[in-house]
Structure 1
Amino acid sequence: MKLRWKSAFFILLTIMIIVPVIVVSLIFVNNNDLDKASKQEPKQGKPIFNIESSKEQLNFLISEQLTDLKSGRNSKFDYDVKLKDTVQVSGYFTFFSNQVDFTMDFEPQVLDNGNLILKEESIKLGALKLPGEKILEFIKGSTKLPPWVEINDNEETILVKLTEYKFQDQLFLKAESFDLEKDDIRFKVYYITE
C-alpha cells in the first residue's frame, strides 16, 4: 500500500511540474525550426533511378540499423521503430527501478527538399497520454542517433535528413512519397553534380 502511495505521489508531482512547463512552452513556441527544416539548401544532383519499397521491407532495414546503433546500449532504456499506419516508436525506460513503457506515434511528411519530418501524433507513458516534448528530450539525451536524424523536442518532431544519409560518395536519396496507410513508399536516388 505504501508503494502505491509513493508512486501516485510521484506521478502527481510529475504532472504538476510538466503541465505548467508545457503550457508556457506552447505559448512561446514558434514554427521557425520546421520552416528551417523544409527550406534547407537542397543538394544538386541528377536523378538516376527510383526505389519503391513497402512497410515490411523498411521495417526489416530499420530493425537491422537499430541493432547496430544499439550495441553496447544502456539497459535502462530501449526502443524499437515500426512502420504501421504511422511511424511507431515504442520502448521502455527505468524510473526509480521500475520499467515504464512508452509508445509514440508520428505522422510522416515528405518535405520539398526530399527529407522526411515525423510529427508527433500521440505519446503514451504507461497508461497516460502525454505531450511528447519531455519524452523526445529524454530520447535525444539517452541514445546515440545517426547524424542524419535530428530530434526537435520543442516542436515534437523528428527530422530524417535523407539527403545526408551516407549512401556512397556521389549518391544521395530523396523521398518522393511516404504514405504508410496506402503502403506507397518511394524514393529517388540522385547523382551529385556539384
Structure 2
Amino acid sequence: MNFTKVFLLAILLGLIVPAASATAPPGRITLSSDLGWLAAGGADSAEITVQVFDGSGMPLDNCTVAFEVDPVFGRISPATVTTGASGTAATSFIPPGRTSGVAMITARAGTVEETLSLPIDHGPAGRVTYLDYEFEVAAGDVTVITVGAGRPVRQPGGRYPGAPRPSVSASVRSTTMPSSSTMGERRCPG
C-alpha cells in the first residue's frame, strides 16, 4: 500500500513541476538607448537595451527578442537576442552613412512589441561652400565674415533639393596685425 501512495505521489509531482516551471508569455517590453541621437555619417553606434516582463511584471529569462528597423536608417546587430536572468539583453544600432531622420527601432517578443524613436541628425560639415568677407579692413572697424559649410545629406527618398545652405555669420573687429604676419597671408596670430 505504501508503494502505491509513493507511486501516485511521484506521478502527481511529475505533472505539477513541469507546469510550474513553464515560461510565461511576454506581457510587456521596454526599450532604451544609451544615446539620445546620432550624427549621420558619424562613427558612433547606439546600444539598444530591451527588458521583457511577463504579465505580472516579473522579468522573463531566456526570452527571444527580434529587432527590426528600416534599412534606410541603419541596421541592428545582432538582430535577435535572448534575455538573461534580469530579463534584459542588448544589441547595437548602426546608422548607414549620410541619411538623417528618425529611426523607428521595433523589438518583438512573442506577440508583444515596443518601438523606440532614435533621431539621426545631419553630420558635421564636410567642406566650406561659401566664404564672403572684406579683404581689407581698417584697424578698429567692424566687418562681417560669412561662412557657408555643407555636405550633401541624403534624406529618405533621395537628395533634398533646394535645401538652404547652412551658414554662419560673425562680426569681427579688426586689430593691428602682429609683426610676424605679412599682408596677403591669412593665418591666425599665436
TM-score scaled to structure 2, two decimals?
Answer: 0.29
The structure richer in helix per residue is 1
**Higher RCO by CA contacts (8 Å cutoff, separation 6 or greater):** 1
Asked which structure has the greater CA Rg, the reply is 2
TM-score scaled to structure 1, two decimals?
Answer: 0.29
